[in-house]
Amino acid sequence: MQGRTQHVIAGRSLYTRLVIRVGAVLLVSAAALLIAIWISTQFAAREAYDRILAGSALQIAENTWYDHGEVNVDVPLAALSMLGTGDHAIYAVFDPRGRVIAGDAEFRPEIPWQELEQGPLLRDGQYLGTPVRMAIIGRRMPVEGPHPWAVIVLAQTNNARMSFAQSLGSRALVVIVAMSVLTLVAAMFTLYQALAPLKRIEAAIRERDLNDLSPLVLTVPAETHALVSAINAFMQRLAVHRSTMRRVIGDAAHQLRTPVTALVAQMELLATEDNEEKRQRHLTLLRERTRNLGALVNQLINHAMVQHRNDSSLQARIDLGELVRSQMTEVLSNRSRTPHDLSLDVPPLPCLIRGDAISLGEAIKNILDNALQYGAPGLLQVRLESDGQRHWLRFIDDGPGIPAADWERLRKPFSPRGEQRMGASLGLSIVEEVMRAHGGELRFAYLPVGHFAVVLDFPAWQAPAEVV
């Protein structure tokens, strides 16, 4: 499968994103604050001017009296002068019969007779098409009738109160805009300082030598500690992969040099030999060396493959019995001779493990190949046993086995067992690496009946706990 090359695309800078978001928050906050201040100033101006208007109307009411059957009023000039400049004041005084006895006779708003007992009443109204604010006050007169009130209505246009509210709002707007700009500048500087550790991390990585994969040693904020830890973990994995690659290349170069040289020498001898009998001997040796070289290359490739897969995620759920059955079928199908006592004993229930089927299959095939090639003249038994927590896979043959003194040595790569065997003696080292990667163990044993056993000990699959 062809790999895909992924490229990192540089988007908008983190600093710009943060500045835009902080600016947006400040803009929304400033707008909300300005609206709140504007509403507050409207209420404040309305309340202040309403109190002045009501006070002026009360002064007129205090100078209203009843004498000889008539309502009299003496409007003080101070009552009208309190309303200030820039506005037009209109008033009218009504007697209990609703007649205008003072003020503007054309100013006749609707009088709420039933509400006059509540005190000064403030209403919005119209005077000659102009909006006005009115204060309505009733003063009880000593007369009989449904409306024993002398009513004072004092109105004022809204110019002064609107101008006052706009003045307060404009000043608040200037203050809010100035504070928002100063806050944004301070936030930009603070964000720049806060993002400085990212610049230090970038500089530390950029200044690194290409061959330096040691961990970064930096003092960073807690928010970027996970990032630096991830970078260090990645470099550690990269260092392990590079070390593995160098070891594989070195091992291959070391192991292939001698057989390739011998193969070339044999071909040169064959090319220069005229004697037919000797040519046949050289040809036989050439075929044997070629087979040995092929076996060596195959072992080196399998060893590299297992090392690579052991570094990957081993999360697949595998039925160990099915895996052993399939690998035995594949190995035995390529053999012209098999032991007469050949058996596979697997429990009826699945023996599940967590791992990688390809590397586990390679380990099982190596054990079977060793048993069929160097042991098992008449017996090969494969047994899978389990207690629910551990699974044991046993390979038992009647061959000479491996001397106990060599059990630890043969776990390491390129540790030959002698007897002029082909390959690089990587079979058991591959099994050892696979078992270590899967949390298992490779063991050897001699059974009481004299047979030799190779045991693979696996931890059983642990299903995730169900959430109740």
Mean of pLDDT values over 299-314: 63
Mean of pLDDT values over 256-272: 75
Helices vs. strands in the chain: H and E counts, helices first: 9, 14
**pTM for this structure?**
0.48
Mean of pLDDT values over 176-202: 85
Amino acid identity for residue 75 in this structure: V
pLDDT band for position 312 (cuts 50, 70, 90): low
In the chain, % helix, strand, coil (3-state, to 5) comes to 50, 20, 30
Please count the other Cβ atoms lying within 10 Å of the Cβ belonging to residue 410.
19
- Options 1.25.40, 3.30.450, 3.15.10, 1.20.120; CATH for 28-166 is 3.30.450
Q: Which of 196, 194, 209, 201 is nearest to 232 (CA)?
A: 201
pLDDT digits 0-9 by tens, 394-422: 999 988 888 888 888 888 776 665 555 54
The pLDDT value recorded for residue 197 is: 80
Measured CA to CA, the distance from residue 388 to residue 350 in angstroms comes to 10
Measured CA to CA, the distance from residue 81 to residue 89 in angstroms comes to 9
Q: Which of 311, 321, 333 is nearest to 433 (CA)?
A: 311
pLDDT band for position 464 (cuts 50, 70, 90): low
Tokens linked to 235? 């470099």
Mean of pLDDT values over 343-364: 89
Q: Which of 368, 352, 235, 362 is nearest to 307 (CA)?
A: 362
pLDDT band for position 468 (cuts 50, 70, 90): very low
Q: Which residues of 417-448 are buried (b: 16+ CB within 10 A; e: fewer)?
A: eeeeebbbbbbbbbbbbbbebbebebebeeee
The pLDDT value recorded for residue 442 is: 93
Q: Give me the chain's average pLDDT, please.
A: 81
The pLDDT value recorded for residue 325 is: 93
Domain 314-459 has CATH 3.10.450.50: no
pLDDT band for position 467 (cuts 50, 70, 90): very low
**88: DSSP letter:** -
pLDDT digits 0-9 by tens, 23-81: 888 889 888 988 888 888 888 888 888 888 888 889 988 888 888 888 888 888 777 77
